[in-house]
Amino acid sequence: MENAEAKSPEPERGRSKLVVELKELDEIYQRFKLVFILSNVLTMLLAAYVISQMLFPEKLTDPWMKKLQTVGLCTIMGGAILLCGVQWLCLRQTTMTSRRKIEQMTFVDALTNVYNYRYLDRRIEEEIRIARRFGTMLSLVYMDMDSFKRVNDECGHKAGNFVLSELGAILRVSARTTDLVGRMGGDEFLLLLPNTNRDEAQIVSERIRARIEAHVFDCDGRKVDYIRASMGVATYPYDTQDKENLITAADRAMYRAKQAGGNRVCI
């Protein structure tokens, strides 16, 4: 078995930039919005001027004709404004849809439908800053599946992917609304528990561990009832005060759970 230091996760060095960052998308949206407004305003003014010159080339003296001219121009302007509003709504809807798709592709693990490590790496830093600012606690739970290799060996990798997908669903249902669940890779998961002390983190972890232990995975007719979870808990600021050491502390606690026989939570 590998030691804790050998398997502890390290942030990727020189990680490639995202194809489209959400921040850049917002900046593009703001620039396009300004151009959109100015171009439509100019278009409306130009259209109103041209149409008025075409319909009424000579100065009108009749009051009814002047009123008709005013009504006509107001109708034209109103239609242009309505068109501008429709275009604006379409632009906003398209941008929001694109943002959701980009966020889904960038931050969510496709197999388990939980957050990937890229997203958790950012959020852990943010939550530590919040905890430091307000004097609150933050707990991290590192989880590794027991006997998962047996699934791949006996049932195949397709069954293994199915089990991982089901585990993602179990974690999403079991976690609290304020918790963040992510996949580190393989059969390793990470739970970020904001404003949570050691005792509370252990309660949450034990509930998740028990739910996994009781779950029977149906892999194309083959019942898999031996999947268990070894979990390690680390808490800011008691165990450490920075992100890397917090993850390492949780990882080491998870290995203590493994060495003690698995299917348990260690702090």
Residue 144 known to be catalytic: no
Residue 159, CB-side half-sphere exposure with 13 Å CA sphere: 20
Dihedral angle sign, alpha carbons of residues 172, 126, 94, 48: positive
Question: Where is 141: in which H helix or E strand?
Answer: strand 138-146
CA 236 to chain centre: 23
Question: Where is 33: in which H helix or E strand?
Answer: helix 22-55
CA dihedral 118, 124, 130, 134 (to 10 degrees): 170
Angle between helices 22-55 and 63-107 (to 10 degrees): 160
**b/e sequence 84-120, b meaning 16+ C-beta within 10 Å:** beeeeeeeeeebeeeeeebeeeebbbeebebbbbbbb
Closest CA to 114 of 28, 195, 190, 10: 190
121 to each of 13, 17, 146, 190, how far by Cα in Å? 13, 14, 24, 10
Question: Contact at 8 Å (CB) between 183 and 117?
Answer: yes
Query: In the structure encoding, which two tokens stand for residue 262, read together?
Result: 């698995």
From the candidates 187, 218, 220, 242, give the one annotated as an active-site residue: 187
CA dihedral 170, 171, 175, 178 (to 10 degrees): -130
Residues marked active site are found at 187
